[in-house]
Copies of this chain bind each other. A is one copy, B any other.
C-alpha cells in the first residue's frame, strides 16, 4: 500500500505542493485489518481520523437495549471516525470494525492539528469533505422520514450496489432503520413481483 491513492483523492478537491503532500504522507500511519477486527471501540477515546484505502468498514452505535444501530459503511476512498469524540476528547459511543479485510491510513488528531495549522490547504480540503458529508447526512434524514422501508431499500441498492454483495443483510437493515425480518420480507415481495 502506498499513498498515491489518498493523494489523488485529495487532489480532486485541492492542489497540493510536494511539501504539503510529503508532510501529509509522513503524518499517516499505515494499518491492516482482518475481517471482523476492530479499529475503534465504544467507550474508548477516539484519537485518529481514518482513511479507507481498500476494503469496507462499518460504524455502529450500541443501544442500551443491546441492539446495534449501524451509522455508516465506509468504503475505499472515504474518511471515517468519530468526530465527536475526536473534538471533545470524550469517550466514543461508536464502534468501528472491518466488514472485509482492510488497508487503512490513520491520521492521529495531533498530527491533524499540526497539518491544519501549518498548511491551510488542508483546512480547505476538510471543509469541502465535511460540507459534502453534511449534504449526504441531510439527505439521509429526509429519506428516513419521508420514505417507506421498501423505498429506502430500493434507494440503497441504487446508491451502493456493491455493498449488498458482502455486507450481511442484518447490518443493511439496521442502516436503513428496519428489522432484518422485515427487510427479508421486502426482498421476497420484490422477487415475487418480478417473476
Contact = CB atoms under 8 A, between A and B. Distances in A.
A83 B139 CA distance: 12
A87 B126 CA distance: 15
Contacts of A142: 61, 69, 71
Interface string A99-129: 0000000000000000010001001101100
A123 B177 CA distance: 35
A1 B132 CA distance: 32
29 contacts: A61-B142, A69-B142, A69-B145, A71-B142, A83-B131, A83-B134, A83-B135, A83-B138, A84-B135, A87-B131, A87-B132, A116-B124, A120-B120, A120-B123, A120-B124, A123-B123, A124-B127, A126-B127, A126-B131, A127-B127, A130-B130, A130-B131, A133-B134, A134-B134, A137-B137, A140-B141, A144-B144, A144-B145, A145-B177
